[in-house]
Amino acid sequence: MKGNMSSHIYGKKMKTITAIILFITTWLFSSITLAASHNIILSAETLPNGQYGYKMISHTTDGAAPNYPADAVIPGPTLFVQGGDVVNIQLTNNTNIKVGFNVGGLSVGNAISILPKQTRNYRFNADKVGTFPYGDEKSALLGLFGAIVVDDPSGKVQSFLDGDGTLTAVKRDQLNKEFVMFMVGSTFWGAEISADGTQKPLWTNPTLGAVENQLVRFHVLAVGHAHTFHLHAHRWPDSTNNGNTASSNIIDVKLMSSPHSSHTFTIKAGTGVGPGVWQYHCHVMSHMQSGMNGKFHVVAAGSGETGDSIAGASPRGKIFLNDSDEPGLVTFIMSDEPGSWFRSARGNALSPVTHTKSLEIIPPGSSVHFIMSDTNGVHTVTNLLWPSDAGKNDHGGDHFMIPIDETKAYRGGGIVQLNVPGLYVFTCKIHPFMFAAVIVDDPKTDGLDLGNTIDLVSGIKDLPTSSDLATRLVSTFFIATTPSNWRDFTSTNPWHVAYPNVDVVTDAGKLSLVEVLEARYGQDVQLTSLSKPATPGVGEVWVDTQFEKTAGKTKPGAITVLDTSDWTLKRKIALPQINMNNPHNMWANRDHSVVYATQWFDTKLTLIDQKTGKLIKNIHVGDTPSHVMTLPTTDDVTIAIHGENGVVRMPVGTTEVDYMMPTQQHGQAPANPHGHWISADGKRIITPNVNTGDAGIYDTETGQIVVRTQTGGGAPVPHPIAIGMMPDSSRVYAANLLHHSISVLDGNNGALLNTINLIADYNPITGEFADKDGNGVVAVGVLPIQTPVSPDGKVMVTASMGGQIVITDTTTNKIVKMLSCDPGCHGANFGAKQGGGYYAYVSSKFSNRLIVVDPDPNGDGKLDDAEIAGSVSMVADKGVPKDDTVSNLAGFGGQGVLPLPIVYNGWVQNLPSEWSAGLTDKQRNPIQ
Amino acid sequence: MRRIFAAESLAGNLSLSHKKKCNFRLMSTIWSRMLFAISLLFLINSVLAGNLHRIGMFAEEMAGGYFAYRMMHYEIIGQDGSASNITSRYSNAATIPGPTIIITEGDEVEIELMYQINPDRENSKHNQVSIHVHGVHYDKDSDGTLKYINLYKDESATPVVSYIYRWHAALGTAGTWPYHDHNMDSHNGAEDRGLFGALIVNPASAAMNNIKKEFVLYIVDDAIVGMETNNTTGQHTPLWVNPTLTAERDSDVRFHVLALGTNFHQFQLNDYTWVDPGTVNQINTKAIGPLEKHVFVVNATHSSSYMDTAFSSVLLGMKGDFVVAH
Ligand SMILES: [Cu+2]
Ligand SMILES: [Cu+2]
């Protein structure tokens, strides 16, 4: 080994001498050019997959202009100019969106954007040497970006570090090639510029090629999110802070900070390491896991190999409706917009066929690309299901990426090549109703290939695609992703779900998708008209109608306040002044003067005046806050930071969070807690740890982990999402969304006591519902979410996304009843019923009513007569006070529910008299 | 060897002067190029033989779901063939960060990795662990990646066989470099579960005798984990989570700040300033992203504290004291 390496190095020494002499000759006699002006005509175009790109129409300058690609490309054409040059740009907008031209780091005079079909001139002076990203500020992440390289007029470019340690100066005309590599979302977008100036698009995650010892300059740029660039086996001087001056700071990883940055360096390919396939990648863990890497292939000199680069999947490649020989790319925009959480960039064009904007069709070998370009939150890109073969070890290398998942929620995107035909569904682990579906269709078969079997992230393997569970998920997908498929109780028409009229190929052969789904799950169902409960409740119910759109803001979500004395709406709170974004869950302070609301696709906790509905304050608390609750002991506020690692505290009387209680030990996988609960004595915080599949019990005082207990019967991803708790803290209930079960834990030591299977009565193959567990009732709860226990500890009500409400007797932990809910059934919480007892208020994401459940109408303590007492529309008529005009999706998106007064044991005792006045003695002391 | 650094600063000065005297650009450019070219010709005797570091490490499982590297064996073979065994300077348990490996430009490293993790029976192809190092030279056998990435071979220790990586800290590779797993469970490896450490390559040109302590501080997503090396005794001490760092008054200590994970950080050492490497800027805070490094020396004059000032890092208490005493 030692001898080998030395001879290798001595061989190089001779080459170095030759190179240096050559280099001296060229350098001394090269000419020095003068400032020039450039007249560049560009257009912005829409690409076949719905992304955008800049196209070079002409570039006139004193010298020779480069040889540009004929069509629009991503990244856009690379503009090479020299320090002191003047650049005039004429831009024509051939897209259907507004497009502008900005340069990060250089000032462009009057850089306003232009409407479709307009043309505008921009001008800037290349007064700084360096590489700068140009592009459209708003839509850059969808492809409207490119690089401007301003070189030193002397021709000097970044020095490279040779294998013998020599820092060697370089002139541009010595470069064998240059690469422009944009880091966007979790994808590299590349272009190659050859020595003769020819520009070639390399698209996504290309294989960059070079011959050993060639001089290659990299321009790494980022728009949008932050990244760290790393190239294996190479190192270079960091000249970022000193122009092109050789730096003594030798690096191989570089931070690309948000919102835009660039880093240029020169390397000698393979110097000191030799030929090889060297990976380049982003070194942000979640970005690595979502596919952000490619290869730098250095071939041996004299080997006869040319060291050509290989382009990656492209927006011009083969996808449904676009023929090409190249691998194609479809793009899903990840968004805070209801229904369109994963929206195909060409969703509007596809939806007449697919009846959703979230379904794409590609041939095997093409890729799917995700970009978090329309969201303020953190997310994951996670396979919910995939063709069984794609995830198998013995099926090529696909198992390295399928199922795709990340350990941590993050900002960025994702990219994955799909080779095995069949159905893939992607979701976000944080927001498990965000869905994208991709059918990888073998063009040789007749009908769209769903494949024979799928595997599910929850651990189910080899599920036939014609099974009831598979088609039920498909039906759920079409309902969730298309608002016109939601249950609208203001409409007198029957509830119609539009499914695509296509043939699909399943394990049972070719089927008509629409016929199967309609036969199994019905169509044009007449919705029951709403009727108010006969007995009033006590106080108000605040409901997060999280998807409701209003005119004064771009983000969705309102809070709907219901007066339970007469079941009328009291107020709509949309808070346009802060662009309140997806309000998800609420709680109130001890005297109920302040309601706290979390913005689940954002970073904020919002404080609202209970009496007026006015904004008090909007506070940054962390990524993607989900649930909020006060400590009954101190009135401190606790907020589960779902996209991060813990629960933060905002001390009573303050408006700043001061501490995060980690839900895991340092360095362990983030738990991503969602819907926490607090014991009545305030001593324990219990979190459902979505990412790690457990329920954690934490000591409020010390912040220490008391115990963490795996939930969901050992399933790989049970996805515990919400906690219910007995009023005496004796037991904890954790709803396992993807395991369709409730784990029952000892409230003191966390011991697992029982697992209530909510789908025991369901046959996933045939879809038959029957009393298989022999408990005397047919009851199913598919995808359970919120699961509160009544303040008196007698009953648990579980809202299940599959459209069921499950009633469980907490004395026996047996299911006693199933009630019908709406699609996306989600939120549940107990409030006081006038004269004694409790109502459970249940909300649904894909409907616009609130269901009022009376678990014990006659108050005899038996639950077999549990019933829906009534339901109330969440749609406000003209008379209801509002702070903004409802513009779309009125009353939809029901999630967090907060009845006031808060009547849970531990909190109810602290109510001021004005709030406790309406309660019975028993309600004031629920467990005595 | 000092010539490399002399040449570099010469180049720096020249390019500065060439900017200022742009009226005489052509003249001065040719002149500076000649000077620089001449200085380059002196550099060609730059191959330096160094020591050989023969290292054996385990990749192990730790309670709590972590993985970590453990030093098994460390022997330095000098140019004269003499061998010295320094294994006892390292913790005999697995640590996070893993063992700090300190070498000098010109040295070579032969590092054998052994797989000591319970194999996953269902996914036997995932039972691989590696060391991928940054910065130094190695050929394509020692990248520590999977065939899926390098199109060559799986460069991993497995339950049945160890793997030997060979590094050459050639001239120009001085600096502090992370090493980490690249192969466990997936093609991204399990670096975020504890399989990481630091390699310090001291420059051949400058003695580092003045530095009394090395603090390797890895900023992970929710903590700062440390490893200390006492250069007087040669002893390595794991400092674990958000540690208190101690230094003798008026001693020079070197901070090696690295990051790893998904989050971005802002490292700060209060009431001290230092030069941002590669620049002339005096700083006391530095933005750092995953797998970046930031290395600086301070003379310990007074007690202080270090911290990551990113929003959630502050809430998580990602900070520690820097205690300076006699
Ligand atoms: Cu990245
Ligand atoms: Cu999400």
CB of A87 within 8 A of CB of A146? no
Q: How confident is the model at residue A16 (pLDDT cuts 50, 70, 90)?
A: low
What's the whole-number mean pLDDT along residues B228-234? 97
Q: Strand, coil or helix: what is A388? A: helix
More confident residue, A242 or A752: A752
Ligand nearest the Cα atom of residue A335: 2
Percentage of residues in chain A having pLDDT higher than 70: 95
CB of A193 within 8 A of CB of A199? yes
Percentage of residues in chain A having pLDDT higher than 90: 89
CB contact under 8 A, B33 and A251: no
Give how far A190 is from chain B: nearest CA, Å.
18
CB contact under 8 A, A669 and B225: no
Q: Is the pLDDT of residue B30 over 50?
A: no
Residues of A in contact with B4 (CB under 8 A): 165-167
A204 Cα to the center of ligand 1, angstroms: 14
B170 Cα to the center of ligand 2, angstroms: 46
What's the whole-number mean pLDDT along residues A682-698? 97
What's the whole-number mean pLDDT along residues A73-91? 95
Q: Is the pLDDT of residue B8 over 80?
A: no
Residues of B in contact with A9 (CB under 8 A): 47, 170
Q: How many CB atoms sit inside 10 A of residue B41's CB?
A: 11
Residues of B in contact with A249 (CB under 8 A): 277-279
A476's torsion region: left (phi>0), alpha (psi -120 to 50) or beta?
alpha
Residues of A in contact with B166 (CB under 8 A): 1, 5
Q: Is the pLDDT of residue A335 over 70?
A: yes
Ranking A58-72, A484-498, B7-21, B59-73 by mean pLDDT, the lowest is: B7-21
Give how far B276 is from chain A: nearest CA, Å.
9
pLDDT at A489: 97
Q: Is some CB atom of chain A closer than 8 A to the CB atom of B137?
A: yes
> What residues of chain B, 217 to 246, have a C-beta less than 8 Å from chain A?
220-223, 225, 241
pLDDT at B32: 45
Q: Is the pLDDT of residue A375 over 80?
A: yes
Q: How confident is the model at residue A246 (pLDDT cuts 50, 70, 90)?
A: low
Ligand nearest the Cα atom of residue A342: 2
Q: Which two tokens stand for residue A728?
A: 């005496």
CB of A314 within 8 A of CB of A355? no
Q: Is the pLDDT of residue A143 over 80?
A: yes
Q: Is some CB atom of chain A closer than 8 A to the CB atom of B291?
A: yes
A739 Cα to the center of ligand 2, angstroms: 20
Ranking A906-915, B180-189, B222-231 by mean pLDDT, the lowest is: B180-189
CB contact under 8 A, B149 and A659: no
What's the whole-number mean pLDDT along residues A437-452? 96
Dist CA A159 CA A689 (whole Å): 50
pLDDT at B23: 36
pLDDT at A62: 82
Q: How confident is the model at residue A107 (pLDDT cuts 50, 70, 90)?
A: confident
CATH of B207-326, one of 2.60.40.420, 3.30.70.270, 3.40.50.11540, 3.40.50.300: 2.60.40.420
For an interface test with B, which of A285, A287, A305 has the most B Cβ atoms less than 10 Å from its Cβ? A285
For an interface test with A, which of B120, B140, B180, B282 has the most A Cβ atoms less than 10 Å from its Cβ? B140
pLDDT at A677: 98
Q: Is the pLDDT of residue A44 over 50?
A: yes
Dist CA A488 CA A494 (whole Å): 9
Q: Strand, coil or helix: what is B191? A: helix
Q: Is the pLDDT of residue B26 over 60?
A: no
What's the whole-number mean pLDDT along residues A517-542? 96
Dist CA A319 CA A332 (whole Å): 14
pLDDT at A244: 52
Q: Is some CB atom of chain A closer than 8 A to the CB atom of B63?
A: no
Strands (DSSP E) along A388-434, which ranges?
Answer: 413-417, 422-427
Name the residue in chain B with its Cα closest to that of A282: B290
Q: Which two tokens stand for residue A850?
A: 């609130």
A386 Cα to the center of ligand 2, angstroms: 19
User: Burial of B87 by CB count in 10 Å (0-12 exposed, 13-18 middle, 19+ buried)?
Assistant: middle
Q: Is the pLDDT of residue A554 over 90?
A: yes
pLDDT at A138: 85
Q: Which of A538, A572, A574 is nearest to A555 (CA)?
A: A574
Residues of B in contact with A161 (CB under 8 A): 172
B188 Cα to the center of ligand 1, angstroms: 13
pLDDT at A232: 98
Give how far A394 is from chain B: nearest CA, Å.
9
Q: Which of A504, A506, A494, A499 is nearest to A451 (CA)?
A: A506
Question: Closest partner residue to B292 among A17, A255, A397, by Cβ?
Answer: A255
ipTM entry = 0.93
Question: Closest partner residue to A397 among B37, B148, B312, by Cβ?
Answer: B148
CB of A84 within 8 A of CB of A153? yes
pLDDT in tens, A504-529: 999 999 999 999 999 999 999 999 89
Q: Is the pLDDT of residue B25 over 70?
A: no
A45 Cα to the center of ligand 1, angstroms: 26
Q: Is the pLDDT of residue B33 over 50?
A: no
pLDDT in tens, A385-433: 999 999 988 777 888 999 999 999 999 999 999 999 999 999 999 999 9
Q: How many CB atoms sit inside 10 A of residue A576's CB?
A: 16
What's the whole-number mean pLDDT along residues A114-139? 93
CATH of B50-205, one of 2.60.40.420, 3.40.50.300, 3.20.20.30, 3.30.70.1230: 2.60.40.420
What's the whole-number mean pLDDT along residues A833-854? 98
Q: Kindly report the average pLDDT of chain A as a whole number.
A: 94
Q: How confident is the model at residue A245 (pLDDT cuts 50, 70, 90)?
A: low
Ligand nearest the Cα atom of residue A220: 1
A574 Cα to the center of ligand 2, angstroms: 21
Dist CA A866 CA A648 (whole Å): 37
Please determine whether the domains at B50-205 and B207-326 fall in the same fold group of CATH.
Answer: yes
Ranking A54-68, A215-229, A424-438 by mean pLDDT, the lowest is: A54-68
Please name the amino acid found at residue A56.
M
Cα-to-chain-centroid distance, residue B210: 19
Dist CA A773 CA A759 (whole Å): 9
Which residues, 6 or more positions from A438, have their beta carbon under 8 angstroms from its beta carbon? A330, A359, A360, A361, A362, A368, A418, A423, A424, A425, A426
Place of tokens 């009727």: A531
Indicate the domain borders of chain B: 50-205, 207-326
Q: How many CB atoms sit inside 10 A of residue A830's CB?
A: 26
Name the residue in chain A with its Cα closest to that of B16: A245
Question: Closest partner residue to A660 among B110, B138, B312, by Cβ?
Answer: B312
pLDDT at B289: 98
Q: Is the pLDDT of residue B18 over 90?
A: no
CB contact under 8 A, B315 and A659: yes
Q: How confident is the model at residue A683 (pLDDT cuts 50, 70, 90)?
A: very high
For an interface test with B, which of A174, A183, A232, A672 has the most B Cβ atoms less than 10 Å from its Cβ? A232
What's A326-343 look like in SS3?
CEEEEEEEEECCCCCCEE
CB contact under 8 A, B66 and A668: yes
CB contact under 8 A, B11 and A32: no
Q: How confident is the model at residue B112 (pLDDT cuts 50, 70, 90)?
A: very high
Question: DSSP character for A396?
Answer: T
pLDDT at A202: 98
Q: Is some CB atom of chain A closer than 8 A to the CB atom of B16?
A: yes
pLDDT in tens, B260-299: 999 999 999 999 999 999 888 999 999 999 999 999 999 9
